[in-house]
């Protein structure tokens, strides 16, 4: 708020001071003089004629003042005029007053000039003169620089100016009822702009034609046209040479005839004053100084252009006050901005100084001694207050350098290959040496660090598993810092396998968001997994042959034995069959995990898979008096995948529901189709699975705490999960208010 109002208040105060000193009025007057020069001379009315007493007239008729009988002769020459005004003072009585008075009694009307002496007294015509129509003053208003710019046409509502008296004597309608306020003279041009003829030429009859029409209906102004006579005044057009007083009266008379005195547009002056106010309050505090300067310059140019345009239409506006207010307010705005900026800099320096101390204390328990020695030597010649700041800055520089070397060594020698990308555009920011070496070895053409898209394409192309990373997922809002690590395995550098971990990082107080990629060499682990798979496969297959023999002989013993021997033979068969089931399930899961055979992808009817699974467990359900109810649509969209694996997975789920449900209960199977997937829900009325165990129930050899009374190895649900994930689906337990367990399988209509 201070930045908005204080510059404007300071600018207004500055304007008031300049106004009291008169500087603003002087500048405005100078600008008006400049506008006269820019506008240039105008063509005056031909009805105004100036008869000047010039040097030629004095050479021919004698020195000034002329005998007044010459003026009588002059009146006879211009008798066709509308009115005649003498810009001379006839205060003294002469012996030629009678013929002059006699001539003035005839038409046209004659106005004699008066001039102020002191106070309200005037120098008036001699009492010996008569016959003139009226008198008019020749007083004008000079500015502080001596230039005539204004006139009061009628002083005290009694005495008109010489020009106003001529105007009235012509019988023209007046446009104002009072002329007691100063009016700005609208000058038409420099000296001789009006038709000016020599007094001597008029006396000689050079302008009296046969019909005598030259002066018809003209306004005649008679006055001094010789600078030596002393009747010269400074006008905007004659600042250096001066202009005769009679020409000033001619300009005033022309303004009266044309009604074009300079008009001051006060309402527009107030409107222009609002420009700096609006800029100071609404623009400057919210924009850069480059933009502010540009807008201020445009505003100044527009104000000047408006002033020129209006002056061409005989209107004048005050542009000095708004421009000085604009410039001074902006200077105060810049001063306040510098003060506030300096204060802010000092605050930031103080904050950085405290942060520097805290960071150094956190970085070092003690500053290394050789750094203290370097600082003391480098700053010993400085003043104490300056050297303290330099010591702290140099200490921080050395500390950060030492920390940088330590981190660089750590990342290059002790850390796995690492790369950091900027999340906004995916460009690489930082890499360590091990990543650069690894990337160069995997590329045919050596190039710089890859962007995130190039890296993900490389990972997906060389992945040793079916898992891929979608670049669009990395760029989405779902990929946040809380997202679990994304792990794939890629085959690079021949038989080398790397575990790739991607996670989002926010650094520097959240001002930078990046994606950190780490690669861990898992070649040994991969080799151990391969050996494990071979051992499991070999052992399992080697066990199946003797196990088949045991089951065969056991069944023979059951048929041949009686009593306890038969009971023992049945036990042998049951446990052998259980071991055979365990080996089969284990081999199926191991085959899925190793990905040796992959999965078949052909169109199939998922509704048929569900019906076949129900048929497979129908006998077991009948033995326990369990009713299997279904809610299946009449027809569903065919899916693409491995029908055999999915059938075995659904059988496992339905069989578990029947096996763990009490007798005389119901198992409900529901299939629903959405726009993108098929959703299978299987609900039973068994003991259910506690919520804290649901996320672990899909692990190998894991069984619920409520299922130990039933035979099993904890491999069935793991098999189900493996099959569903291979089809890009999901499997999860659903919490319901009813007892029992509800398992939901979701398969997409389009899988990879």
| CB neighbours of residue 250 within 10 Å | 29
Tell me: cis bond preceding 131? Omega within 30 of 0 counts: no
Whether the CA torsion 256, 257, 262, 265 is positive or negative: it is positive
Pairwise CA distance, residues 289 & 279, whole Å: 12
Q: pTM here?
A: 0.52
Q: In sequence order, what are the residues at sequence separation of 6 or more whose Cβ sits closer than 8 angstroms to the Cβ of residue 725?
A: none
d(CA 376, CA 371) in angstroms, rounded, equals 9
Is 286 exposed, middle or buried (CB count within 10 Å of its CB: 0-12, 13-18, 19+)?
exposed
The residue ranges of DSSP E strands in 441-596, in sequence order, are 486-492, 496-507, 512-521
Q: Which of 268-277, 349-358, 707-716 has the lowest mean pLDDT?
A: 707-716
* Nearest residue to 626 (alpha-carbon basis) of 683, 711, 689, 548: 683
Structure confidence by residue, pLDDT tens digits, 123-182 = 899 999 999 999 999 988 888 888 999 998 887 657 889 999 999 887 776 666 567 788
Nearest to 56 by CA among 220, 218, 246, 202: 202
The b/e string for 4-43 (b: 16+ C-beta within 10 A; e otherwise) is: eebbbebbbebbeebeeeeebbebbbebbbebbeebeeee
The pLDDT value recorded for residue 298 is 93
| Closest by Cα among 59, 98, 36 to 307 | 36
Q: Are 384 and 344 in contact (CB under 8 A)?
A: no
Residue 65: is the preceding peptide bond cis (ω within 30°)?
yes
pLDDT in tens, 43-96: 998 899 999 999 999 999 999 999 999 999 999 999 889 999 999 999 999 988
DSSP helix/strand/coil, 654 = helix
Summarised one tens digit per residue, pLDDT across range 687-703 is 777 776 766 676 665 55
* pLDDT value, residue 462: 75
**What are the pLDDT digits (tens) for 452-494?**
888 888 877 777 665 667 777 676 666 665 444 555 666 555 5
Query: Nearest-5° angle of CA 684, CA 685, CA 688?
Result: 85
- Range ranked top by mean pLDDT from 381-385, 679-683, 720-724: 679-683
Whether the upstream peptide bond of residue 670 has omega within 30° of 0, thus cis, is no
* pLDDT (0 to 100) of residue 519: 82
- Predicted local distance difference test score (pLDDT) of residue 704: 52
**Facing residues of 499 across strands?**
489, 520
Residue range 414-431, pLDDT digits in tens: 678 888 888 888 888 888
380-394 average pLDDT score: 54
Q: According to the per-residue pLDDT averaged within each range, which of 54-58, 363-367, 717-721, 738-742 is highest? A: 54-58
Q: Region of 662 please: left (phi>0), alpha (psi -120 to 50) or beta.
A: beta
Mean predicted confidence (pLDDT) in 318-330: 90
Mean pLDDT confidence for 626-639 = 88
- In 368-511, at which residue ranges do the beta strands (DSSP E only) sit? 418-422, 428-431, 486-492, 496-507
* Residue 481: CA count within 13 A, CB half-sphere: 7
Most trustworthy range by pLDDT among 367-381, 590-604, 737-751: 737-751
pLDDT at 304 over 70: yes
Q: Residues 7, 13, 19, 22: what is their CA dihedral angle, to the nearest 10 degrees?
A: -90
Q: What is the mean pLDDT of the chain?
A: 80
Neighbouring residues of 87: CB distance < 8 A, sequence distance ≥ 6:
113, 138, 162, 221, 222, 223, 224, 231, 245, 246, 249
Q: In this structure, are residues 354 and 305 in contact, taking their beta carbons and an 8 Å threshold?
A: no
Question: In DSSP terms, which residues pair with 629 in a beta bridge?
Answer: 668
Name every residue whose Cβ is closer than 8 Å to that of residue 413 and which is 6 or more positions away in sequence. Answer: none
* 3-state DSSP assignment of residue 410: helix
Q: What is the pLDDT of residue 221?
A: 95
Q: What is the pLDDT of residue 712?
A: 47
Token digits of residue 670: 């529901």
Model pLDDT for residues 548-587, shown as the tens digit of each residue: 777 777 778 777 878 777 777 777 876 776 676 666 666 6
Q: Are 309 and 261 in contact (CB under 8 A)?
A: no
**What is the SS3 assignment for 665?**
coil
Question: Structure tokens of 83?
Answer: 């009115």
Q: State residue 701's pLDDT score.
A: 52
User: What residue has token string 């005539």?
Assistant: 148
The whole-angstrom separation of Cα 474 and Cα 515 is: 9
């Amino acid at each position: 708020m201070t930045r908005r109002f204080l510059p404007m208040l300071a600018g207004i105060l500055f304007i008031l001071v300049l106004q009291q000193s008169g500087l603003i009025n002087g500048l405005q007057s100078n600008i008006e003089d400049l506008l006269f020069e820019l506008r240039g001379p105008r063509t005056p009315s031909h009805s105004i004629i100036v008869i000047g007493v010039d040097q030629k007239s004095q050479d021919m008729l004698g020195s000034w003042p002329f005998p007044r009988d010459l003026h009588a002769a002059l009146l006879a020459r211009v008798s066709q005029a509308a009115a005649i005004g003498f810009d001379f003072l006839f205060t003294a009585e002469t012996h030629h007053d009678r013929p002059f008075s006699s001539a003035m009694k005839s038409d046209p009307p004659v106005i004699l000039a008066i001039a102020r002496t002191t106070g309200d007294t005037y120098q008036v015509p001699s009492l010996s003169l008569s016959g003139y129509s009226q008198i008019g003053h020749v007083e004008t208003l000079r500015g502080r620089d001596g230039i005539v710019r204004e006139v009061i046409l009628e002083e005290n509502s009694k005495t008109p100016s010489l020009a106003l008296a001529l105007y009235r004597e012509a019988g023209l309608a007046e446009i104002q009822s009072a002329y007691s306020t100063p009016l700005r003279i609208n000058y038409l041009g420099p000296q001789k702009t009006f038709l000016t003829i020599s007094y001597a030429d008029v006396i000689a009859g050079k302008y009296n034609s046969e019909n005598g029409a030259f002066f018809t209906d003209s306004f005649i102004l008679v006055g001094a046209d010789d600078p030596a006579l002393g009747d010269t005044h400074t006008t905007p057009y004659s600042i250096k040479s001066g202009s005769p007083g009679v020409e000033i009266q001619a300009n005033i008379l022309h303004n009266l005839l044309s009604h074009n005195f300079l008009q001051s547009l006060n309402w527009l002056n107030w409107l222009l004053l609002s420009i700096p106010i609006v800029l100071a309050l609404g623009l400057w505090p919210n924009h850069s100084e480059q933009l502010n300067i540009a807008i201020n310059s445009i505003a100044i140019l527009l104000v000047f252009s408006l002033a020129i345009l209006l002056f061409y239409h005989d209107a004048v506006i005050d542009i000095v006050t708004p421009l000085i207010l604009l410039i001074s307010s902006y200077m105060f705005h810049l001063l306040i901005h510098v003060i506030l900026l300096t204060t802010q800099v000092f605050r930031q320096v103080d904050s950085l100084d405290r942060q520097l101390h805290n960071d150094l204390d956190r970085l070092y328990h003690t500053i290394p001694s050789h750094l203290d020695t370097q600082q003391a030597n480098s700053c010993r010649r400085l003043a104490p207050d300056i050297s303290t700041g330099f010591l702290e800055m140099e200490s921080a520089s050395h500390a950060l350098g030492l920390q940088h070397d330590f981190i660089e060594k750590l990342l290059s020698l002790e850390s796995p290959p690492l790369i950091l990308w900027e999340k906004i555009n995916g460009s690489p920011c930082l890499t360590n040496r091990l990543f650069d070496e690894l990337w160069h070895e995997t590329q045919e053409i050596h190039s710089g660090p890859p962007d995130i898209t190039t890296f993900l394409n490389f990972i997906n192309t060389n992945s040793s598993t079916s898992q891929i990373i979608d670049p669009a997922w990395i760029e989405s809002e779902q990929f946040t810092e809380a997202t679990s690590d994304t792990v794939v395995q890629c085959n690079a550098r021949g038989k080398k396998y790397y575990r790739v971990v991607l996670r989002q990082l926010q650094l520097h107080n959240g001002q930078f968001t990046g994606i950190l990629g780490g690669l861990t060499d898992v070649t040994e682990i991969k080799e151990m997994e391969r050996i494990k798979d071979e051992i499991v496969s070999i052992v399992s297959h080697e066990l199946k042959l003797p196990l088949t023999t045991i089951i065969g002989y056991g069944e023979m013993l059951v048929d041949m034995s009686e009593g306890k021997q038969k009971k023992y033979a049945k036990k042998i068969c049951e446990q052998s069959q259980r071991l055979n089931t365990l080996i089969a399930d284990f081999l199926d899961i191991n085959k899925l995990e190793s990905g040796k055979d992959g999965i078949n992808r052909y169109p199939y009817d998922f509704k048929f898979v569900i019906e076949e699974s129900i048929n497979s467990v129908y006998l077991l359900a009948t033995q326990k008096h369990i009713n299997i109810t279904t809610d299946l649509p009449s027809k569903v969209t065919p899916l693409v995948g491995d029908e055999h694996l999915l059938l075995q997975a659904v059988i496992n789920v339905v069989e578990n529901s029947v096996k763990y449900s009490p007798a005389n209960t119901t198992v409900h199977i529901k299939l629903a189709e959405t726009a993108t997937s098929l959703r299978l829900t299987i609900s039973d009325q068994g003991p259910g699975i506690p919520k804290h165990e649901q996320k672990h129930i899909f692990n190998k050899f894991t069984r619920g705490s409520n299922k130990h009374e039933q035979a099993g190895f904890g491999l069935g649900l793991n098999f189900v999960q493996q099959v569903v994930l291979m089809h890009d689906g999901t499997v999860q337990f659903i919490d319901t208010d009813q007892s029992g367990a509800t398992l939901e399988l979701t398969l997409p209509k389009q899988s990879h």
